[in-house]
Structure 1
Amino acid sequence: MGRAHMKYLANGEVEGAELAAVCESFPPNLERARKSLPDRVACFSEPEAMFKSGTIDAILIATPHYFHPELAIAGFEHGLHVLTEKPAGVYTKQVRLMNEAAAKSGKVFGIMYNLRLLGLYKKLKDLVDTGELGEIRRTSWIITDWYRKQSYYDSGAWRGTWAGEGGGVLLNQDPHQLDLWQWTIGMMPKRVRAFCAFGKHRNIEVEDAVTAYVEYENGATGVFVTTTGEAPGTNRYEVAGDRGKVVIEDGKLVFWRLRIPEPQFNRENRPGDPEAWKIEIPVKEGSSDHMPITQNWVDAILHGIPLIAPGEEGIKGLTLSNAMYLSTWLNDWVELPIDEDLYYEKLQEMIDKSKRGESH
């Protein structure tokens, strides 16, 4: 992703932004960047040197997950605006420190949640926010079309390890869905019970199959099912309220709209079942490209435009994945907000057992 961001910035595709410098710790990659970029773009092998150089006003972080918070914090401390790739980090304790540093700095902080730009999810959020669905009663997301072969995990010693990645399908493939799950309905669960299977389908340390059940403060419930070992996979998101149900699948948003809200129908003891209209709601497709998020971040810096994906919100989706891991490790329910110190302790235990990768 770093190369992709570098390319569109170097081509001047983001209005108001200029690629001033790149930082790459792997010498062959740095040399490749140096040869492909204009002479005006400075090249660094160490972040601290780049931060102190005076050549930049902002940074876009595209590194392994563990480094996102520490680089962001360093950037804020040097008076730089920050945009980070997802996920926000590996554990919420680290990300909370990053959010505190962002608030203290007063700089613009964004996260690369580019799927918030898709019309399907924007429309669902609008239906929820405007009350069209009524009070949320149930959510369900089956996201199993992340098929990954063993060769994918074998492509790097850090892949599929606690020390190298800090997690599996939840941390690498699902950050967008975990963000959209809470963003579209506007609420987080109050408690989580999850069952993560570690190395169920592939020879890896981390989870490759998950089934999670959540409960919300208003009594609603939710289910999240995901895996990298299923083919063919499914991507189906349902949100049910007391005024109907929305299903997002195969690029379509279908709204089963009740003519009479279910509580009213029940209260009035009407005959039969509630009448529902099946409506395929047209949505503007939107773009899932990364560049528009970068453009929005630059516009926020230069013109005060509201961020589509504020960096501080990255902790929400990460809280969900951390809660799912912790619930599995403890074989019990986990209340939100989670015990961040306990989670970090359990994660370190997994890292200590890690056979491959690099410890952090």
Structure 2
Amino acid sequence: MAASRKQKPDLQKKVHEVPHKPGVYLMRDRFNRVIYVGKARDLRKRVSSYFLPSKLAQADLKTRAMLDATWDFETHTVRSDAESVLLEGKLIKEYRPRYNVSFRDDKRFLVVRGDLSEEWPRFRLARFKKDDGSRYFGPYAHAGALRQTLNFMRKKFGVLTFGRGAPTERELKSSTYQLPVRLSEISAEQYRERVAQACDFLEGHSREMISTLEAEMRKAAEKMDFEKAAELRNMVEDLRNTTRPTRRFTRGSLPATIDPLADVRALADALRLPGVPHVMECFDISNISTTHVVASMVCFRDGVPDKNNYRRYRVRTVEGQDDFASMAEVVRRRYSRVLLQISDTGNRRP
């Protein structure tokens, strides 16, 4: 029995193949499941530190348990620290590794939303991109840098970056520290030209403006005005962090941990099915108090989630908490409908 067990591989040799570049790393257990996702400015240094004897001796219980369970790792390089933060967050939300805590909730990175259908468009912060006709920029990994960039845009372009709806009386008639222009002195068309310039700036057309700020920073330093020079330096760094082009990591571009078709075939073999299942539907019952019983159904097609066919049900005929009766009702309603559709259309696939 002991001789048949797989030998844990020596990962120290693999570490030497890791590049000295920013990126993310994934730790896997002996079943090839992702158990931890991390980011690093230097992947070689970060990953190699896990396998040093001194590191293991000083590690806390959680890290020691994670390293004991690690049988393999993989790395993915990116172009910047900001991209590593974005990719790390996406991977943790995708795979929900048991040794990660951060990013496992539904919190999202900030995006900037501009509703150009408004007469006086404003730039606002948001967490989600919606299909509402607005223009969205981001996501942005550095929230602090993004807020400083919006402050800069407000002063440089004279655009609104807070509030809602049409400009207030104060915004129209007064120039303030936040908005150093009287909007009553320009037309809505002129304001929209400023909004277009701000949009170009957020899309990365900022090299000339950053060069101007760098020249001002050098002049301030020559005049021994180091406080202003430091302020300009921080502003340049924030603008670069915000306007630097970053890749958008979508589900299709993330590193895959499974082979859907191979897993479906393995499932068919394990259950001794006559063929490979093309559609799988899974149900769950939830009880909210004793008065509200609901059910959910998820659907997979060829091993891939088919979210367009996810369904929710409110249980109608069952009183109290009775999961078996509730499941029977939901399954009966679901497949009565499927059989009716088959009889009407002749299509045997739901």
TM-score interval, smaller chain: under 0.3
TM-score normalized with structure 2 length: 0.21
Greater helix share, 1 or 2?
2
Report the structure number with the largest CA radius of gyration. 2
